[in-house]
Every structure is written in C-alpha cells, then in structure tokens.
C-alpha cells in the first residue's frame, strides 16, 4: 500500500520537508505525555502553566536526559518499545520511510531520540530564529508532535529548498565535515524566509538530513512537546566514506529523478 502520493514525494524532493497530519496513535501519545510529566523537573506541574515558562536550571543525568534554558530533552523514554513504534515502526509511518528510501533498506530502530520539549519564553523580547544542519549520520528525519503546537509555539522550523545547496556543502555525504561554502550558505539562508511547522498532536514532519532547520522559539503558553527520530539506510557505514553524490537522490529509490 502506498502511503505518500506522487505529489507529496515531489514536494519533499523540492522543499526538503513534508508534513503528514494525524498519523501517530492518540493512546500512545497520551502515554508519552503522562510519562513526560512523571519525569518533569520538580518545580514544573502539569496543572500550573506558570511553572512551564523557561529558563530552567541546567541539569543532566546518567540516562542522557538534559535540560537547561528553554530546552528539556527527555531522552530516557526513547528506548521504550511503544514509543519507537509510535514514531518510527508503526506501519503507517514505516511504509512512508521505506517508500522514500526503499523497502528493506531502512535500519530497524532500537530507540528514538526521545521527547524534546521547548519551554515558553514568557515575555522576554523575541530573538531571531537561526538555522543549522545536523552533524550525525542519517537520511530522513522525522519530528512528531505529541501535543498541539501553535504558530510561534516552538514548532520545527525549516528553510525550504536549503537541502539542495547544503547537501553539496560537505566533504562527506553524511558526516559532519562542512566545506567553507557551508557557513556562507547558512548565513545566506538566515536571511531567507522560513516555515514554522506548527500543527496538532499526531502530526509528523519528515525532513531531509541536510535541510537547514531550527527549533522555533516558543512564544506560546504551551510546552512544545515533540518526539524525534532519524531514519537511516542499512548501508550508511559505507556511504559515510563517500563524498556527496552528483545525484543527491541516488540513495532514495522512491524519489524520481
Ligand atoms: Fe538540529
């Protein structure tokens, strides 16, 4: 069964991202939110929005959880089977990743990154949103919202079409080995318009691994609660040794040239 239409695939190819609405399982999202609150910093309470506003004190523990400022990365939960299913291996999502990267080509995950929260900024002056590319090796990123994210609410923010330049700004196809051109292009995209991918609980955003992106500043009253995973092909290790391919879609059999 095809999950992505031809039009959606072409949109992803051109723009570097694609939003799919209402994909994740509501019961699993409720479980994720509940466990998130059970592990919240002591001063934060689910029934008291005033306690959600950042910044918060820096803290990291042995389970990989990291928080500080306006960020709270609850990573420990990322290895639970049910949350891996919710964002990555649920057939509704898995088939989309395989449709792009090829059936049988995608590494089966043993964890996702976790729940990444962006705390409300309260009434501090608004700062500019600046982009970056990620350094770790993967092909297809996915961000899923386990709660509603309003416009300006810390949604995943993308610079459309930037992947088509930034892909070639590295010495390696997937390692973090930027050329000099990379920073110049990042500076360029920082002056270009971006898209704030706000949405509702259950929505997911696919994105190309070299797309310029950012976690938006959260100007809303809600905590931005997202789950993140990075799909990669099984032949990644060999690919990392190679420079960017002249055909940047070589490893994407589902994307027409
Ligand atoms: Fe990033």
State the distance from the centre of ligand 1 to the C-alpha of 215, rounded, in angstroms. 7
Look at residue 256 and tell me if it is in a domain.
no
Look at residue 60 and tell me if it is in a domain.
yes
State the distance from the centre of ligand 1 to the C-alpha of 116, rounded, in angstroms. 11
Look at residue 59 and tell me if it is in a domain.
yes
Asked if 216 and 152 count as a contact pair (C-beta separation under 8 A), the reply is yes
Look at residue 257 and tell me if it is in a domain.
no
- Residue 211 to residues 60, 65, 117, Cα–Cα distance (Å): 28, 26, 21
State the distance from the centre of ligand 1 to the C-alpha of 55, rounded, in angstroms. 20
Look at residue 189 and tell me if it is in a domain.
yes
- Residue 85 to residues 29, 46, 89, 153, Cα–Cα distance (Å): 11, 25, 5, 26
Tens place of pLDDT per residue across the chain (257 aa): 559 999 999 999 999 999 999 999 999 999 999 999 999 999 999 999 999 999 999 999 999 999 999 999 999 999 999 999 999 999 999 999 999 999 999 999 999 999 999 999 999 999 999 999 998 999 999 999 999 999 999 999 999 999 999 999 999 999 999 999 999 999 999 999 999 999 999 999 999 999 999 999 999 999 999 999 999 999 999 999 999 999 999 999 999 98
pLDDT of residue 257: 84
Residues with CB under 5 A from ligand 1 (ion): 134
Say how many residues make up the chain.
Answer: 257
Environment class of residue 193 by beta-carbon count within 10 Å: exposed (0-12), middle (13-18) or buried (19+)? Answer: exposed
* Structural domains of the chain, count: 1
State the distance from the centre of ligand 1 to the C-alpha of 129, rounded, in angstroms. 13
State the distance from the centre of ligand 1 to the C-alpha of 137, rounded, in angstroms. 12
Element (H, E) at 59: strand 56-60
Structure tokens at 237: 């290790």
State the distance from the centre of ligand 1 to the C-alpha of 118, rounded, in angstroms. 13
Q: Domain range for residue 126?
A: 6-240
CATH number where 170 lies: 2.60.120.620
State the distance from the centre of ligand 1 to the C-alpha of 226, rounded, in angstroms. 13
- Residue 2 to residues 99, 135, 164, 201, 232, Cα–Cα distance (Å): 8, 31, 26, 23, 20
Look at residue 222 and tell me if it is in a domain.
yes
Cβ-Cβ contacts under 8 Å for 152 (sequence gap 6 or more): 196, 198, 216, 217, 218, 219, 220
State the distance from the centre of ligand 1 to the C-alpha of 133, rounded, in angstroms. 6
Look at residue 246 and tell me if it is in a domain.
no
pLDDT of residue 26: 98
State the distance from the centre of ligand 1 to the C-alpha of 47, rounded, in angstroms. 30
State the distance from the centre of ligand 1 to the C-alpha of 158, rounded, in angstroms. 10
State the distance from the centre of ligand 1 to the C-alpha of 11, rounded, in angstroms. 21
Look at residue 251 and tell me if it is in a domain.
no
Separation of alpha carbons 146 and 30, rounded Å: 8
pLDDT of residue 145: 98
- Residue 149 to residues 9, 38, 128, 169, Cα–Cα distance (Å): 24, 21, 19, 32
């Amino acid at each position: 069964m095809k999950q992505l239409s031809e039009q959606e695939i072409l949109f992803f190819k051109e723009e570097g991202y694609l939003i799919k609405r209402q994909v994740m399982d509501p019961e699993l999202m409720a479980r994720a939110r509940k466990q998130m609150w059970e592990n919240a910093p002591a001063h934060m309470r689910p029934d008291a929005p005033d306690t959600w506003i950042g910044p918060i004190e820096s803290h990291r523990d042995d389970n990989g959880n990291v928080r500080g400022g306006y960020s709270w990365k609850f990573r420990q939960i990322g290895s639970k089977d049910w949350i891996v299913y919710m964002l990555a291996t649920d057939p509704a999502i898995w088939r989309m990743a395989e449709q792009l990267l090829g059936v049988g080509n995608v590494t089966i995950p043993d964890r996702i990154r976790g729940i990444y929260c962006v705390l409300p900024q309260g009434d501090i002056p608004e700062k500019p949103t600046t982009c970056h590319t990620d350094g770790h090796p993967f092909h297809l990123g996915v961000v899923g919202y386990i709660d509603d994210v309003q416009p300006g609410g810390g949604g995943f923010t993308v610079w459309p079409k930037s992947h088509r330049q930034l892909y070639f700004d590295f010495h390696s196809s997937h390692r973090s080995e930027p050329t000099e051109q990379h920073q110049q292009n990042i500076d360029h995209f920082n002056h270009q318009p971006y898209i704030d991918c706000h949405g509702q609980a259950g929505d997911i955003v696919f994105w190309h691994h070299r797309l310029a992106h950012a976690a938006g500043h959260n100007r809303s009253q809600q905590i931005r609660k997202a789950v993140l995973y990075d799909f990669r092909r099984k032949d990644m290790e060999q690919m990392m040794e190679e420079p960017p391919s002249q055909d940047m879609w070589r490893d994407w059999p589902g994307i027409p040239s």
